[in-house]
């Protein structure tokens, strides 16, 4: 098995990137979250998992070792394959996922792609003893810090939650917006605009 690959990003596909090393280009499936962190021409190291099927051999890559470890945990769950696992990692950060498992938040899990109620219940059942409690503590501290921002930021979060968005969806986008807003509604519109770009 290929443990990791170090090389240069040469191009992107919808769900993958190509990494060239020693004259060989590897097609590596990556999460949307990792894809946003990479740039063409950048030298990177990706932890990899090789999935072997009768009709294909595919590489899955991860910038962080923690993402790779969670991926391995996810595919250990019955009926969760690499594609569903990558969909989960594309839609929620690690701490928020661990928090959802420990708190048995079925409503959060069922919003993830490919996860229905029965699968969400299976994830909780099979992973509650595998997910470290320390991850939950990290999430709770992150949540506290997220609600201790500026007044417009706090109000924007409350408005977005009232529209049905979860904090794990809101906070990464909110933190990526560098401009300061005095009007919470302007900030809400900016967050919704950035979310729309991700799904376009």
Question: pLDDT tens-digit profile of 40-70?
Answer: 999 999 999 999 888 888 999 999 999 999 9
Residue 78's pLDDT is what? 86
| Strands 43-52 vs 24-29: parallel, antiparallel or unpaired | unpaired
What class is the 2-60 domain? mainly beta
Q: Are 177 and 190 in contact (CB under 8 A)?
A: yes
Share of the chain above pLDDT 90, in %: 46
Residue with tokens 């690690």: 94
Residue 199's pLDDT is what? 57
In the chain, domain spans: 2-60, 65-136, 149-196
172 — pLDDT class (breaks 50, 70, 90): confident
Q: Say whether pTM exceeds 0.85.
A: no
Across residues 149-171, what is the average pLDDT?
A: 77
Q: What is the mean pLDDT of the chain?
A: 84
DSSP letters for 37-106? T--TT-EEEEEEEEEE-SS-EEEEEESSHHHHHHHHHHHTSTT--HHHHHHHHHHS-HHHHHHHHHTT-H
Rg of the chain in Å (alpha carbons): 18
Is residue 147's pLDDT more than 70? no
Is residue 145's pLDDT more than 60? no
198 — pLDDT class (breaks 50, 70, 90): low
200 — pLDDT class (breaks 50, 70, 90): low
Residue 6's pLDDT is what? 95
Give the CATH number of domain 65-136; options: 1.10.150.20, 2.60.40.1180, 3.40.50.2000, 3.60.40.10: 1.10.150.20
2-60 and 65-136: identical CATH topology: no
Q: Are 166 and 135 in contact (CB under 8 A)?
A: no
**Gap between the Cα atoms of 72 and 59, Å rounded:** 13
Across residues 14-32, what is the average pLDDT?
A: 94
Share of the chain above pLDDT 70, in %: 88
Residues 6+ apart with CB under 8 A from 159: 184, 185, 188
């Amino acid at each position: 098995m290929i443990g990791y690959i170090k090389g240069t990003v040469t191009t992107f596909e919808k769900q993958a990137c190509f990494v060239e090393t020693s004259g060989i280009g590897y097609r590596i499936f990556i999460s949307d979250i990792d894809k946003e962190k990479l740039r063409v021409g950048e030298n990177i190291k990706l932890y990899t998992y090789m999935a072997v099927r009768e009709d294909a051999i595919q590489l899955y890559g991860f910038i962080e070792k923690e993402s790779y470890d969670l991926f391995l945990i996810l595919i250990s769950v019955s009926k969760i394959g690499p594609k569903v696992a990558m969909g989960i990692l594309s839609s929620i950060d690690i701490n928020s996922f661990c928090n959802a498992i420990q708190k048995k938040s079925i409503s959060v899990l069922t919003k993830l792609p490919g996860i229905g109620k029965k699968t969400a219940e299976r994830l909780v059942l099979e992973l509650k003893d595998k997910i470290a409690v320390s991850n939950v503590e990290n999430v709770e501290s992150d949540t506290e810090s997220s609600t201790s921002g500026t007044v417009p930021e706090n109000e924007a979060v409350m408005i977005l939650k009232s529209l049905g968005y979860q904090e794990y969806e809101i906070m990464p986008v909110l933190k990526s917006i560098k401009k300061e807003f005095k009007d919470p509604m302007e900030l809400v519109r900016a967050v919704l605009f950035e979310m729309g770009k991700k799904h376009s």
